[in-house]
Amino acid sequence: MTVLSRCSTAAANPTVAATFSYLIRALSSSSKFDSETDLNRNKPATLATLNREPEGRNVQWVFLGCPGVGKGTYASRLSNLLVVPHISTGDLVRDELASSGPLSSQLKEIVNQGKLVSDEIIIDLLSKRLEMGEAKGETGFILDGFPRTVRQAEILEGVTDIDLVINLKLREEALLAKCLGRRICSECGGNYNVASIDIKAENGRPRMYMAPLPPPPQCASKLITRPDDTEEVVKQRLRIYQAMTRPVEDFYLIRGKLLEFDLPGGIPESWPKLLRALNLEDHDDKQSAAA
């Protein structure tokens, strides 16, 4: 599998699970990334200088952005367009929570408090997902929710080449409203949003409108709110993100792999602009126009 292409000689040809066991041991080492020093030595990347995937293999992309910004939405669309697996560590955590497995109770407490799940747990869940994908013959990926720390980014860089990192950005007031409006169908697992976001233009910033993403009739009476989507928890997640994950943006910026993308509104407005930024075309976009 491509994800294993750069493992060290000492760990040559291991299984995915064994490789990530090696990576878990590596977590005990301290980060070597000094963002201030490194940024002073490097210039910001431009779209023209961003690295692209080598010819002959599928893309290996990462989505960054605050919790609730829409990483899963746009990663999923690109996954369908490019025919590569979309791997969301958030979904992996939620699946583990629903499974009542050995990590379920520990994860429940972490998630409900708005804390970040530890590197060890995330890598364990990710290793299982990659092992399953390897068995199915998957190549390439779009990662959503990983890496969240510089240490995770260093570990990922040690085992595979990341071609591009897409950093989604959204105004904080819109982000908070979007998170509080998220709903899930308790039966089919579909994701919807009841928030109607309309932010007036001011201080030179344009108006932003994001329409609700309503459920189909069969799901309307089965909507539930994620336990971690409360105002207090959402604000706590944003504070943690600012402290821990922003340095990851710098990590990829100095490597010429970071594409900053400010979401101008909902899906109808943002999706075509994101495709243009990525030099892609979607000839068969029949998905819902609502955001």
Quick check: pTM over 0.85?
no
DSSP 50: -
Q: Which of 124, 147, 161 is nearest to 7 (CA)?
A: 161
pLDDT value at residue 272: 95
pLDDT value at residue 279: 93
* Of 56 and 15, the one with more pLDDT: 56
Cβ proximity of 61 and 142 under 8 Å? yes
Separation in Å, CA 248 to CA 81, 101, 105, 252, 255 = 26, 30, 29, 6, 11
* Of 90 and 82, the one with more pLDDT: 82
pLDDT bucket at 141, cuts 50 / 70 / 90: very high
pLDDT at 252 over 90: yes
* pLDDT tens digits, 208-244: 999 999 999 999 999 999 887 889 888 888 888 888 8
- Angle value at C-alpha 172, between 98 and 235, nearest 5 degrees: 50
pLDDT value at residue 160: 81
H helix or E strand, kind and range, residue 251:
helix 246-253
Q: Are strands 223-224 and 208-210 parallel, antiparallel or unpaired?
A: unpaired
* pLDDT tens digits, 157-201: 887 889 999 999 999 899 999 999 999 999 998 889 999 999 998
3 state SS of 247: helix
pLDDT value at residue 161: 87
**Average model confidence (pLDDT) across the chain:** 79
pLDDT at 47 over 80: no
pLDDT bucket at 285, cuts 50 / 70 / 90: low
Cβ proximity of 86 and 75 under 8 Å? yes
3 state SS of 122: helix
The two tokens of residue 249 are 């943006």
Separation in Å, CA 97 to CA 92, 111, 236, 248 = 9, 10, 20, 27
3 state SS of 168: strand
Rounded mean pLDDT, 24-53: 40
pLDDT bucket at 31, cuts 50 / 70 / 90: very low
Residue 209, strand partner residues: 198
Rounded mean pLDDT, 101-117: 81
Q: Are strands 182-185 and 191-193 parallel, antiparallel or unpaired?
A: antiparallel
Please, what are the domains in the chain? 36-171+240-284 (3.40.50.300)
Query: So which residues are the catalytic ones?
Result: 71, 148, 182, 226, 237
pLDDT value at residue 120: 83
